[in-house]
Amino acid sequence: SNPQEALNRELVVAPPGFSLSYIGFNVEQAPFDDPKFRRALALSMNKKLIADQVLANLVVPATGILPPDFPGYDPIVQGPSYDAERAVGLLAESAYANNVPRIVITVPGTGGSVGLDLEVILETWRTTLGINVEIQQVEWATFLQDLNDKRLQAFAGLGWQADYPDPQDFLDILFHSESGINHGAYSNPAVDSVLEEARTEPDVLRRIELYHEAEQLIVDDAAWVPMWFTGDRYALVKPHVKGYVMTPMIVPKLKRIVIEG
């Protein structure tokens, strides 16, 4: 029989990991201080097509911030989905319609090529919106230092992975105006107040509703562009290996694995 088919029977598909990759914007720096400009960039990206054609469906396009199956996740929260016409219209309405300043996206790493997905996105921005974006690679230590000092105009090549399964771990930590790791200096008083209310809300369902509200405000604002929910999507597991479970959190649980035979 076809050896590929034999392998197919050993293929295990994982749930998307509780991690998210994204393009971050510093909203205190032009042109990212204009929400219309940010939304235009977000709307011009056909993430489904990129996942399909460029990334061999190894990632799941992110519409919101919270990953699927994560506590508090609700598919009702939808960020800007692909709409090139709307993107062009928003750019025309933005403060930078006729004078887009120089844009540099900083990524960690030296000398290697940047991700193919990022290259495709930059090409999309160029062809759809006429916006040229440069990429600057810097080594990790410098990248983290500049990120923490909010010196970067835009940044990519990093993700956020859940430390614990609660929406606070994504939404509050990354987007509250006073959070130390809100690297894009995003500040929205409405978001802050909802996040602060959620911190002490004892009713679980009401608390989750508050997080939906905050998440929707954040993606509407295009605070940054969520890209992919990542994680090991596929693994080959021999039939005699029992108890191998793919988990969406960071550490694989190996203690339950039994090898028979």
Distance CA 99, CA 27 (A): 17
Q: Where are the alpha helices (DSSP H) in the chain?
A: 3-8, 35-43, 47-49, 84-93, 116-129, 140-148, 168-175, 189-200, 204-220
Q: CB neighbours (10 Å) of residue 131? A: 19
pTM above 0.85, yes or no: no
pLDDT tens per residue across span 243-258:
776 665 555 667 778 8
pLDDT tens per residue across span 65-82:
998 888 899 999 998 899
Distance CA 120, CA 126 (A): 10
Please give the structure tokens belonging to residue 39.
């939304």
Report the helix count and the strand count for the chain, using DSSP H and E.
Answer: 9, 10
Residue 14: pLDDT band with limits 50, 70, 90: low
